[in-house]
Structure 1
Amino acid sequence: MEPKIWGPPAWIFLHSVTLNYPNNPTPQDKEDYRIFFDSLQHILPCPTCKEHYAKNIRSNPINLKDRTSLINWLIDIHNK
C-alpha cells in the first residue's frame, strides 16, 4: 500500500493519540502506550516504513515521562 495514501492520516491519528496521554501517567498507562508505539514497527502497511520506524525508535526510544515528553518524542520521530 502506498504511504502517500495512508501516511498523512496515520500521522494525524498518532499525534492525536499523544494528545490524550496523561500528564501524570500511571505505570499501566506507560506500558499500554509503549506497547502501542512499539507494535507499529510490526504492523505498518509498508515494509520500508516499518524498517524506518523501527530504526528510529531504536535510536530515539519512546519518552513516556508525561504528555509533553510523548508529544515531543513523536514530533522528533515524525521529522526523521
Structure 2
Amino acid sequence: MSEQPLDTVESGDNTNLPPKKFPKGVVLGADGKPCRSCTSVASWIAMAKQKTQNPVSATTTTLPAETASDLQQPSDCPPDVEKLGWSSWTLLHSITATYPVRPSQELQQETTQFLSTFSKLYPCWTCAQDFQRWLKEDRNAPRVSSRDEFGRWMCEAHNAVNIKLGKERFDCDRWEERWRTGWKDGRCD
C-alpha cells in the first residue's frame, strides 16, 4: 500500500476559513475547486476517501497500489487527466500520420495556428500552460513542411511530456510505424 500525503491549498479569497486539504495530485481550477481535466482518477478516489475521514485528524490518505493501477471510470464520465492526455496524443499523432507529404504553404500556416490554438484550449490548464511555454522556445517551433518532419516534431513534443512525467522516451525514428503504417511484425494488419 502506498500513502499519498495531503497537499494544503488555500480556500479561495476567504481568509477566515482554514486551508482545505487535498490529496497529492489534485489540481485546482481558477474557481478553487478540483479540476477534473487536470486530476487523475486515483486522486479523485483519494479525495472521496478523505471526505469520509475526520478532517481534523486526517493527515494522509491511503490508496492501495492495486486499486490505483486498475482504476477505470465508466466510459460516459468526463475524462481524467490521463485519459484526456492519451486521447489528445492519439488525435495529434493521427493528424501527423495523415498530413500530406508536401503540404501547401497555406496548410502549413493553418497547422501552426491549430497547434497554437490547441495549446490555449486544452482542458487541463496546467498542461496547456506547459505546452504553451514549450512552444515558445525557438527550438520547439512546429516543423510542418512535410509529413516526416511534422511526425518527428510531434514525437519530440510527446517525449518532452513523457520525460516530465517520468515515462520512457519513444524512438522518434519509429513514429511512422507506430502511428501510420503499423509495426513491421504485422501485428497491426
Residue 154 of structure 2 corresponds to residue 65 of structure 1:
no
Query: What is the number of equivalent residue pairs in this alignment?
Result: 80
TM-superposed CA distance for 1:53, in Å, is 0.5
Q: 2:130 aligns with which of 52, 58, 66?
A: 52
| TM-score (normalizing by structure 1) | 0.92
Q: Which has the larger radius of gyration?
A: 2
Over the matched positions of the two proteins, sequence identity in percent amounts to 24
Question: Quick check: which one's strand share is greater?
Answer: 2
State the match for 1:42 in structure 2. 120
Letter in 2 for 1:74: M
Q: Which has the higher contact order (CA 8 A, sep 6+)?
A: 1
Letter in 1 for 2:105: P
Q: What does 1:1-80 align with in structure 2 at a 5 Å threshold?
A: 1=37, 2-59=80-137, 60-80=140-160
Residue-by-residue CA offset, 1:8-43 (whole Å, 9 max, x unaligned): 011011000011111111111111211111111110
TM-superposed CA distance for 1:46, in Å, is 0.8
1:62 and 1:23 mapped to 2: Cα distance?
16
1:31 and 1:19 mapped to 2: Cα distance?
18
Q: Secondary structure at the match of 1:10?
A: helix
Q: Structure 2 regions of 5+ residues with no counterpart?
A: 1-36, 38-79, 161-189
Q: Secondary structure at the match of 1:15?
A: helix
2:149 and 2:116 mapped to 1: Cα distance?
16
1:41 and 1:65 mapped to 2: Cα distance?
20
State the match for 2:21 in structure 1. none
List structure 1 runs of 4+ shifted beyond 2 angstroms.
none
Aligned-residue RMSD, C-alpha? 1.0
TM-superposed CA distance for 1:67, in Å, is 0.5
